[in-house]
Homo-oligomer: A and B are copies of this chain.
Amino acid sequence: MNAIENSPLTRKLSAFVVLSENELAVLERLHQRRKTFAAGIDLVHQGQSDQAAYVLADGWVCSYKIQGDGSRQIVDFQIPGDFLGLRSVLLHMSDHNIVPIVESEAAEILVTDLLDAFSTTPRLATAILWAASRDEAMVVEHLVGLGQRSAEARVAHFFLELGVRLALVGMGSRAGFACPLTQYHLADALGLSAVHVNRVLRKLREEGLVTFRDGHVTFDNYDGLVALADFEPEYLNHTGPLLS
């Protein structure tokens, strides 16, 4: 088994479609052009035009929008195997910022390569379309959480979703996962204050549901957490699209 077969993107896409040797080779070609990005330095910012798209190979990244009053809303986190800026590259304009949370590695994707890959390996195109649609479904679910869930349920749901996503690329399980986020990241993503996030984390810990400490999330009572969060992961596990 060579390296590419273990790449996060390959693992993710393989979860819903079996990829041929040829398709794996095309994926490998997309993974050339590795670049390293330092934590905290914007990779893309609002209004920037004509930037590239990437596949995250290693690290954690988040996309966010800044309001006029300075407050920040994190729209989504990206983990290895996720695309960065795919939509922006089609529009030649980004409407949000992207910043690495820890030092990260990403492979730059040329639009021409991507379009070539699409035309030569339609099943791969379908797989990537599926991944993009899953990302959109996650944004919608995030929106639902902000609109309808209590602070406790939001935090619980957040950890559960992240856990499933990480498990898909071999970085987590029902036991837990490593997580480099700060409580401020959670606050900005979940529409809460950092102080309140801290209170909620304490409550969840004391209730024996989940522990987030020292960069590690531990599921102490997975089923209980699922019940509290009303977590229904169908939107992450579509059995796959069938474009044609």
- Chain A contact residue count (CB 8 A cutoff): 43
Pick from B139, B148, B191, B238: contact of A93, CB under 8 Å: B238
Q: Given the interface contacts A67-B230, A139-B139, does A148 sit within 8 Å of B73 by beta carbon?
A: yes
A136 to chain B, nearest CB (A): 7
Residues 84-112 of chain A: 1 if any B CB is under 8 Å from the residue's CB, otherwise 0? 00010011110110000000000000000
| Interface contact A133-B90, CB-CB below 8 Å | yes
Nearest B-chain residue to A232, judged by Cβ: B68
Query: Closest B-chain residue to A126, C-beta based?
Result: B90
Number of copies: 2
| Closest B residue to A192 using CB positions | B147
Residues of B with C-beta under 8 A to A235:
95
Bound Cα distance A92, B133 (Å): 12
- Of the candidates B71, B73, B95, which one forms a contact with A234 in the assembled complex, judged by CB atoms under 8 Å apart? B95
B residues less than 8 Å from A195 (CB atoms): none
Complex Cα spacing A87 to B137, Å: 10
Known A-B contacts A136-B136, A143-B142, A143-B143; the reply to A148 vs B71 at CB < 8 A is yes
Contact A95 B140 (CB under 8 A): yes
Q: A1: CB under 8 A from chain B?
A: no
CA distance A137 to B174 in the complex (A): 33
A232 and B6 alpha carbons, distance in the complex (Å): 43
Alpha-carbon separation in the docked complex, A243 to B143 (Å): 28
Q: Which residues of B contact A140 (CB under 8 A)?
A: 65, 75, 95-96, 139
Cβ distance A68 to chain B, nearest Cβ, rounded Å: 4
* Chain B residue at minimum C-beta to C-beta distance from A140: B75
Query: Given A67-B144, A147-B73, A232-B68, is A137 in contact with B238 using a C-beta cutoff of 8 Å?
Result: no
Assess whether A146 is interfacial by the CB under 8 Å rule.
Answer: yes
Within the assembled complex, what's the spacing in Å between the Cα atoms of A93 and B113? 29
Residues of chain A having any CB pair with chain B under 8 Å: 47, 65, 67-69, 71-73, 75, 87, 90-93, 95-96, 129-130, 133, 136-137, 139-144, 146-149, 189-191, 230, 232, 234-235, 238-239, 241-243
A-B contact pairs, 12 of them (CB 8 A): A65-B144, A69-B230, A75-B143, A87-B136, A90-B243, A91-B130, A92-B241, A93-B239, A95-B235, A95-B238, A139-B140, A147-B191
17 additional A-B residue pairs with CB within 8 Å, beyond A67-B148, A91-B130: A65-B144, A67-B149, A68-B230, A73-B144, A75-B140, A75-B143, A75-B144, A91-B133, A91-B238, A92-B241, A95-B140, A95-B235, A139-B140, A146-B147, A146-B191, A147-B191, A148-B191
